[in-house]
Amino acid sequence: MSSKKGLNEIIEAIDAQMKKEGISRRDALKMAGVGSAALMMGSSTASAATVAQASEAKGKIVIVGGGLSGIATSAKLRNSLSNPDITVIEPNPESVSYQPGNTLVASGIWKKSDVMYQTKDFIPKGVNWIQDKVVEFDPENNQVKTAGGQTVSYDYLVVAAGLVLDFGGIKGLEEVGDVYSLDKNDAARAQKILGQNGLCSIYFVDGAVDTWTQMQKLVADAKSGKKVKAIFPEPHTPFKCGGAQKKITNLTNARLVEAGARANADLSFYTNGGKLFGVGIYHDAISNQMKARNVAVNYNHKFVAVDPANRVATFEKHWMEKVLDPELGIEEDVRKFELVNVEYDFCHVIPPQKAPKEIAQSPIGSDKGWVPVTKETLQHVKYPNVFALGDVAAVPLGKTGGSARKQYNVLCQNLIATMEGKPMTAKYDGYTVCPLITNIGTVMMAEFKWNPEGPGAVPAPSFPLDPAQERWLMWLLKAYMLKPMTVYGMLSGRA
């Protein structure tokens, strides 16, 4: 957002659209969890605690990871404690990049500079920043060690280290290996293979820039009359922003349509699972959107390998089959699979994802790597002075900025209660949000939370509107409001 005038125009457009939908801006902001429109107007980072509300609790808090969750937590704690003693350990000077904007960078709507920020501008006043990486966790002695050789002790530890992109888990991308979110060296290594020959990934910002170059080539080829094939495989592991591959599929479709070249392009979506979304109404809506856009959906296809030079992706297609056990004489369900090679002109890769190994293999990690916490309180299952949130926490449905926005408030309340020797009362309910871009100009705002009645998830719309509809209003919120809400609201601990 370049100027206040420009922002006012957007807000007026949103107002007008909301009026059409029958809701006021004030109501909408309240529903979206934002207290004041002033947040949108560029008021900057963390303000001081309102002293009347501040807790007198004492203790040294160390936060590992200064991305979205870590900075928001540090700001909220700084705002809530009268004697804060908070240290953030984060190696990356650009750790608070607005990752949800990568989809817009990859489709030529935003530039890289629209999503990049300097960590130093977001570390709240009074919070200590150690620019280093934690390589060892010693929760028995309340200490962590950094790559630079520092031992840092703590009374309370918050783990907010995000996740690692496991490109090496796909055969053919072993040289790319592990990529930490926003690590420049990792990105440079990834760019030696990704970002050319039609193979790309928006999961790191330079990759998003390259995706736009590759997408433009695809569109130009289709426009010149060449028949092209674009494929969009989802990974088989949990991954951040479950809607990202659908968004890139829809944005590629939009760019092809805009160029009058859609008839020459074959678009295919691949997922390892049997559904497009865990919540029924969103699965149905996305399935209809894919049909309307003539995108072929392939279920039960695990993306296992890619040959970048020859532009071939390999999937393990799997299914269950009844097989007679000759000894017992009964039929058993047996998993069968076959390898399927697919040639492509454009392949957008979402890699498998995992916890950073220094966490996964430490005493605070788990078999699956993620930090095991009680999902409602975010307190470590074994160490009561350790908490975790964001992508690294073993919390179902938890890997979005939208869930981190709810989690950091819960975590701060529970951490302060623990510091005060009181019971923890705040509870995370699994809320998360996926602003699913369906076209340039429409979004389906898929909000959901854990099913309070049992397993799975249920819709949790903030707006009194059918959440499964694609809307211009939700596009306006996604493209113009969510970033300032995050950057000026959440990162200052206020939204």
What are the residue numbers of the active site? 241, 434
Structure tokens at 315: 């999937």
Q: Report the nearest approach of ligand FAD to the CB of residue 299 (Å).
A: 23
As given in the structure block, the two tokens for residue 424 are 């923890």
What does the per-residue mask of binding to ligand FAD show for 18-57, with x meaning CB under 6 A? ----------------------------------------
Residue 238 interacting with ligand FAD (CB under 6 A): no
DSSP state of 203: T
Give, as ranges, the residues between 185 and 214 that touch ligand FAD (CB under 6 A).
202-203
Residue with structure tokens 């609790």?
Answer: 57
DSSP assignment of 340-387, as one string?
EEEE-SEEE----EE--HHHHTSTTS-TTSSB-B-TTT-BBSS-TTEE
Tell me if 241 contacts ligand FAD by CB under 6 A: yes
Site for ligand FAD contains 360 (CB under 6 A)? no
State which of residues 17, 79, 95, 413 lies at the interface with ligand FAD (CB under 6 A).
95
**Binder among 160, 286, 306, 468 for ligand FAD (CB under 6 A):** 160
Cα separations in angstroms, 151 against 146, 431, 452: 7, 36, 42
- Segment interacting with ligand FAD, rule: CB under 6 A, options 65-73, 253-261, 339-347, 455-463: 65-73
161 near ligand FAD, rule: CB under 6 A: yes
Q: What's the Cα-to-Cα distance from 193 to each of 196, 348, 362, rounded to whole Å?
A: 7, 13, 31
Decide if residue 388 touches ligand FAD (CB under 6 A). no
* Only segment of 28-36, 49-57, 178-186, 380-388 that touches ligand FAD (CB under 6 A): 178-186
Report the phi/psi class of residue 231: left, alpha or beta, with left for phi > 0 and alpha for psi in -120 to 50. Answer: beta
Closest to 124 (Cα-Cα) out of 159, 162, 80, 91: 80
Token pair recorded at residue 95: 């750790």
Of residues 436-455, those binding ligand FAD (CB under 6 A): none
Residue with tokens 């492509």: 344
Task: Answer yes or no whether residue 162 interacts with ligand FAD by CB under 6 A.
Answer: yes
Q: Is 90 in the site for ligand FAD (CB under 6 A)?
A: yes
CA-based torsion, 394, 377, 361, 60: positive or negative: positive
Q: Return the number of other C-beta atoms located less than 10 Å from residue 93's C-beta.
A: 14
| CB-nearer residue toward ligand FAD: 261 or 446 | 446
Per rule CB under 6 A, is residue 65 in the interface with ligand FAD?
A: yes
Contact of 249 with 347, CB cutoff 8 Å: no
**Binding residues for ligand FAD, per CB under 6 A?**
64-70, 89-92, 95, 99-100, 102-103, 133-134, 160-162, 180-182, 202-203, 240-241, 244, 356, 358, 390-391, 399-402, 404, 433, 435
